[in-house]
Structure 1
Amino acid sequence: MSVIKPALEHPNLITHLLGANNYCWIYYRNGDKKLLAKPISYLQDELPGFIRTHKSVLINPIYARTLTAPPRQKMAGEIQLESGLIFPVSRRRWNEVAEALDHRLAADAEKASAAVTFTISSTKKAPSENVSKQSILLVTDDPSCEPIVTKMMSQRWPQYRLQIAEQSNQLPDHLAGISAEELPTLILLDARTTTVERLQTLQRLKRDPYLCRIPVILFVTPADTLISDGYKRQANSVISLQDGQLSFVQTIERVCRFWLQTASLPSLPKPSLTNK
């Protein structure tokens, strides 16, 4: 115990643990690592805040960056740490891991809401363009799609201004604090990689009495659990997509064609003081 106790004394400095039979490697944020003669199950009990993503992998959730759903049934998902390392998430542990990270992100969002400013990039406007033009908000961490989507939107729906954001943690707080005229007409949430964050954002948007009327379209990888999770959190539509820039842009075009040309969109009430 004299070796194990000091190794676990500062759990916030540990990024992950990898088990190998009755031994376990502990990896630290500064690059150091230690080998302990204990199985990973023992160390999981000693580190209750850590998440077991696989039989041989234990993750410190504060270093988790993205969670990617299994691309198809009977395949594992993936979790990526801020260091860039990627580890598998077994199918039987997927729901448990997603829920644990969901709760962690919710707590982080509450702590950061007063300090973090949500930023949205906008397509360029001509000086004479009406500043009150209605907008479409696309949330995606795939920057390569931005120029193609922007071009497509400007050609087919020039009356709408495209806004793009990479992160969505602060989106509900940002939208709750602006006027009804500034709210987006449609929100497109790309959850193909940053799954947990997008699902948490979707849930917060739909629970807000001021924002819940905005149609939210969720894009996910083809996985039954993700589709169910999206509708459970009241997405207006959940669309499963394989990776691919062209497929993503074409799907956005079809979505906009329906929501902007066929569907009747609700008018949004002005926020009450409690929404501010």
Structure 2
Amino acid sequence: MSVIKPALQRPELIAYFLGANNYSWLHFRNGEKKLLAKPISYMEGVLPNFLRVHKTALINPLCVKNLHQPPRQKMAGQIELHNGEVFPVSRRRWLQVAQALYGHLSPTATSDMPTQPVVDLLEQRNIRNKNATLSILLITNDTSNALLAKQSINKKWPQYTLQTEQSSVHLPDLLTDLPKSECPTLLLLDARTTTQERLHTLQRMKYSQHLCRIPIILLVSPSNQSVIDGYKRQANSVVSLTEGHIPFAQAIERVCQFWLQVAALPDDTA
């Protein structure tokens, strides 16, 4: 249970489970795996949002990229993950999986579905959020951390859209061209690996009359000098972080809780 309990506290770090008789292989998003002394039926019961695509596979829906319809009647479909792995979807579970992912399919919809991949789920979410006016921008080189932040914000602050980028070099120029109402409500700058680039971006934004009103939170490695450098360039907050996905996810939640629920933010129309 020492492995199971911590894993279940952070299900967003899990990619999928594979059943092996009375055991389950737990596969993390970062490629690590652990053997658990619990059957896959147990994991399905404690993780009801995960998708049981066939008798030996339980998938995290956040990891799904495409759902492929069965090519012919009485054949299995396929579910494709963002890491490229593909799993069969059994015939008797197909409708349940499709409904869980898309939510609008009727019991007879599978007969009318196209034979090509149904949709890229990430692209679909982006299309739905194009007109959103409330946004948070995260600049980080760590794609796993970006996914964790997106999942947390979607769950706790669904009125905000999290946008992510890896580079901040041209960020001040891009944001300057936007109306105030389209600028992010909050900017999170991960400066743990590209420190000088992030500090330069922070300084440019705080020197801009158009952009200085955006709260900027600088994420740094544990170092007194990094904290000092951040505040010298007028970061609204500097957060010192150790390595690891869990400390990152916890920090993002606490930062958003303060800035989105406690702090007073400027009126974009002013």
How high is the TM-score relative to the length of structure 2?
0.52
- 1:210–1:268 CA contact under 8 A, matched in 2: no
Amino acid corresponding to residue 199 of structure 2 in structure 1:
L
Question: Matches of residues 29-44 of structure 1 in structure 2 within 5 Å?
Answer: none
How far is the alpha carbon of 1:133 from its aligned partner?
2.9
Question: Matches of residues 1-276 of structure 1 in structure 2 within 5 Å?
Answer: 124-125=124-125, 131-268=131-268
**2: distance between equivalents of 1:123 and 1:135?**
17
- 2:132–2:161 CA contact under 8 A, matched in 1: no
Aligned residues: 149
Q: Give per-residue Cα distances to partners, 1:152-177, cap 9 Å, x unaligned.
A: 11110000000000000000000001
Q: Give per-residue Cα distances to partners, 1:92-150, cap 9 Å, x unaligned.
A: xxxxxxxxxxxxxxxxxxxxxxxxxxxxxx98537666713300000000111122211
Amino acid corresponding to residue 159 of structure 1 in structure 2:
Q
How far is the alpha carbon of 1:249 from its aligned partner?
1.0
**2: distance between equivalents of 1:245 and 1:123?**
24
**2: distance between equivalents of 1:258 and 1:188?**
13
- Structure 1 vs Structure 2: percent identity of aligned residues? 50
Q: Give per-residue Cα distances to partners, 1:28-71, cap 9 Å, x unaligned.
A: xxxxxxxxxxxxxxxxxxxxxxxxxxxxxxxxxxxxxxxxxxxx
**1: distance between equivalents of 2:204 and 2:164?**
19
**1: distance between equivalents of 2:176 and 2:245?**
31
CA RMSD of aligned residues (A): 1.9
- Flag the 1:201–1:127 CA change in 2: closer, same or farther, 3 A: closer
**2: distance between equivalents of 1:195 and 1:174?**
20
How far is the alpha carbon of 1:180 from its aligned partner?
1.4
SS at 1:203 equivalent:
helix
Gap runs ≥5 in structure 1: 1-121, 271-276
SS at 2:147 equivalent:
helix
How high is the TM-score relative to the length of structure 1?
0.51
- 1:123–1:161 CA contact under 8 A, matched in 2: no
Which contiguous aligned blocks of 4+ residues in structure 1 show a shift greater than 4 angstroms? 126-130
**1: distance between equivalents of 2:123 and 2:135?**
10
- 1:139–1:167 CA contact under 8 A, matched in 2: yes
- Flag the 1:180–1:249 CA change in 2: closer, same or farther, 3 A: same
What corresponds to 2:17 in structure 1? none
- 1:210–1:269 CA contact under 8 A, matched in 2: no
**2: distance between equivalents of 1:250 and 1:205?**
26
How far is the alpha carbon of 1:226 from its aligned partner?
0.8
- Flag the 1:123–1:233 CA change in 2: closer, same or farther, 3 A: farther
Q: Which has the higher contact order (CA 8 A, sep 6+)?
A: 1
Amino acid corresponding to residue 159 of structure 2 in structure 1:
Q
**2: distance between equivalents of 1:240 and 1:129?**
31
